[in-house]
Amino acid sequence: MDRSALEALLSPDGTRLVEELGQIASTADAASAITRLRRAGHAPEAVAAVVEQARLRERARAKFGDDASRMLFTRAGLEQATRLTVALRHAERLSAAGLRRVADLGCGIGGDALGFATCGLDVLAVDADEVTAAIAAHNLADFGDRVAVRHARAEDVDLAGVEAVWLDPARRTAGHSETARVRAADYSPPLPWAFALASRLPAGIKLGPGFDRTRIPDGVEAQWIGVGGATVELVLWSGALARPGVGRAALLVRGEVAHELTAATDTADEPVRALGAYVHEPAGAVIRARLIGEVARRIGAGMLAPNIAYLTSDAPAETPFVSTFRVREQLPNDIGRLSRALRERGIGTLEIKKRGVDVDPAVLRPRLKLRGPESATLILTRVGERRLTLLVERV
């Protein structure tokens, strides 16, 4: 999106057209809307901007709920924005620490700033991209004087009076639509600058969940966050925002409910044991936080194999930190025999999970020639040099 497209959206006609279009959920809907608006005499550039915005608002509902209907987005900005449910969790941590004024350095379209302001914090929101800063200003306008939005580089902002900082370094190339990931050395603002700032002020630094753990500074709390089965981010908390005695945390957010596992540091795995009646797959955030051993001890499980994130036990687990599967039987590893076994059991729909084996489920599935009305899950893994193929069902 360029400046002219943004101006078209912010004009009275642009605002009205976006509201009138309502839901555009498919390419066919978009094509129909473009044809209708062009026939009505609207300029091509304005039509393209309005239709794109209507589509983005529909996609944004997954992150922002009903608030999406009043917000503006870019494709890149929406992709990188924090979900509102998660942003509110971040804001609650700042409030609990007694911090009232936060600088959101690299605010993007304003996802985290929206969470901060909703929880009553005063926010200075800053973005280095002019169009993105203008969109953030629109999205945060309802909060009045409690939120100030500036177009500036994070490094150039006067932080006088700020009690805490939130940093979301740009991890992709500049742009509003198609962007590419960059190396950690090329983040903006640079990580050394961000880490130095976090050593002086209470800070939360949002990073990708696969961030190189060896680069995590000493003395911070590293919290991996999962939403709906996906690990979405890593936050490094410093100063008053880091909880005493917590160095590693896995937070799982499911709607309005959250569950968290914490430890002072990475926890040791439990010993390997023989395959039991159940196999447990730890949540991605638990794996990233290296808290598999902590979960295993809580549910009385052992490792199915060294250095592979499957647990096994003789009893089901009642915890949100793992997905539990009851083992139906062990099947042959050979594809031909495996295919026959699945067809004999009438399995036509198969979820394939794998760890520790070089298998592409998308390639394997058609080779199995599945047929039948039943559904099941297949776990492919190894114990030492031995392949293990397990037919299981979710508990």
Alpha helices in the chain, H assignment, sequence order: 3-10, 12-21, 27-39, 44-64, 75-80, 84-96, 111-118, 130-139, 191-198, 284-289, 292-299, 335-344, 361-367
**What kind and span of H or E run contains 318?**
none
**What kind and span of H or E run contains 147?**
strand 147-151
- Residue 228's pLDDT is what? 87
List of residues 6+ apart from 386 with CB closer than 8 A: none
Helix (H, G, I), strand (E, B) or coil at 162: coil
Question: Quick one: DSSP state of residue 163?
Answer: -
- Residue 19's pLDDT is what? 81
- Residue 262's pLDDT is what? 97
pLDDT in tens, 166-210: 999 987 666 565 566 777 778 889 999 999 999 999 999 999 999
- Tokens for 395? 């508990």
User: How does DSSP assign 234-269, residue by residue?
Assistant: EEEEEGGGSPTT-SEEEEEEETTEEEEEEESS--PP
How far is 80 from 75, CA to CA, in rounded Å?
9
CATH class of the domain comprising 78-263 = alpha beta
Distance of CA 97 to the CA centre of its chain: 24
Q: Which of 76, 74, 71, 75 is nearest to 113 (CA)?
A: 71
Beta-bridge partners for 279: 312, 325
How far is 310 from 289, CA to CA, in rounded Å?
15
Q: Give me the residue label for tokens 């640079």.
A: 190
- Residue 296's pLDDT is what? 97
How far is 92 from 262, CA to CA, in rounded Å?
18
Below-70 pLDDT ranges, the chain: 172-180
- Residue 178's pLDDT is what? 59
CB 205 within 8 A of CB 235: yes
The CA radius of gyration of the chain, in Å to the nearest whole number, is: 24
Beta-bridge partners for 204: 166, 237
- Residue 159's pLDDT is what? 97
pLDDT in tens, 96-119: 999 999 999 999 999 999 999 999
- For the chain, the structural domain boundaries read 3-62, 78-263, 331-395
Q: What are phi and psi of 144, to 5 degrees?
A: 60, -135
- Residue 176's pLDDT is what? 61
Omega into 316 within 30° of 0, i.e. cis?
no
